[in-house]
Structure 1
């Protein structure tokens, strides 16, 4: 079996360049996501924010199937 140092060196160089480019691409992707996305999407809004729904609406007590089905599709409960 012939062991070629030049062949193994080229393979190691390829792997090193591949790993470096992989880390650069991942870091660039992470930087791009940080630039594009909002800082804190779930933080409380600033200014004069108001609550739209005061409480959960009560389920209709009627036995009409269409109304109960409409309630289910609208509120998911």
Structure 2
């Protein structure tokens, strides 16, 4: 069996370039994600904005069965 050093060096070079490019693309995606995402999406609204969701502790389903939860899920679409 003949081992070609040139082929192995080409393969190692390809793997190194592939890993460097993959790392660069991941870093670019992370940078874009951080740039697009809001700083604090759960902050208290200010100005004329209002908070849309307010949990109601008195809200109870007629039963806590799986079927009623699935029915509520499809009814609200959440």
**Normalised TM-score (structure 1):** 0.61
Q: Which entry has the higher C-alpha Rg, 1 or 2?
A: 1
1:7 corresponds to which residue?
Answer: 7
1:25 corresponds to which residue?
Answer: 25
Q: Aligned pair count?
A: 62
2:35 corresponds to which residue?
Answer: 35
RMSD of aligned alpha carbons: 3.0
Q: CA deviation at 1:42?
A: 1.2
**Normalised TM-score (structure 2):** 0.60
Mapping of residues 35-54 of structure 1, within 5 Å: 35-47=35-47
Structure number with the bigger relative contact order (C-alpha 8 A, sep ≥ 6) is 1
Partners of 2:2 and 2:20 in 1: CA distance: 30
Structure 2: segments with no counterpart, 5+ residues: 60-71
Alpha-carbon spacing, 1:46–1:22, altered in 2? closer, same or farther (3 Å): same
Q: CA deviation at 1:53?
A: 7.8
